[in-house]
Structure 1
Amino acid sequence: MITEDELLKNLKHFTGSDHLARLTRRVLLTEGTRYLAEAAECFWLLDVYASHLAAIDSDKEGFTCLKLSKKSRSASVLIEDGNGRVLAKQNIEYTDFPLSTITLYGCWAGDFWVLMLPSEY
Structure 2
Amino acid sequence: MITAENLQIELAHCHCSETHYKHWLGILYTEGIRTLAMKGECYWLLDAVASHQPGKAIKSNPNLQDFQLWMLTVNDDHSAVLACYEDSPSTCAPVITQDIPSTDFPLSEIKLYVEYGVLLLPSEH
Please report the TM-score for the alignment, with normalisation by the length of structure 2.
Answer: 0.87
**Are positions 1:69 and 2:78 aligned together?**
no
- Identity among equivalent positions (%) equals 39
CA distance in 1, matches of 2:13, 2:60: 29
CA distance in 1, matches of 2:60, 2:24: 16
- Structure 1 residues 39, 58: closer, same or farther in 2, change over 3 A? farther
Pick the aligned partner of 2:104 from 88, 96, 110. 96
Paired residues for 1:10-89 under 5 Å: 10-55=10-55, 56-57=58-59, 60=62, 61=64, 62-72=66-76, 73-83=78-88, 84-89=92-97
Greater per-residue strand proportion: 1
**Are positions 1:107 and 2:120 aligned together?**
no
CA shift, 1:90, in A, is 0.5
CA RMSD of aligned residues (A): 1.5
CA shift, 1:59, in A, is 7.3
Q: Following TM superposition, where does structure 1 have runs of at least 4 consecutive aligned residues deviating by more than 2 angstroms? A: none
1:117 maps to: 121
CA shift, 1:52, in A, is 1.2
CA distance in 1, matches of 2:85, 2:74: 17
Please report the TM-score for the alignment, with normalisation by the length of structure 1.
Answer: 0.90
**Unmatched 5+ residue regions in structure 2?**
none
Report the more deviating stretch, 19-28 or 98-107: 19-28
**Unmatched 5+ residue regions in structure 1?**
none
After superposition, give the CA deviation of every residue in 1:58-85 in whole Å (9 maximum; x if it has no partner): 8712100110110121001101112434
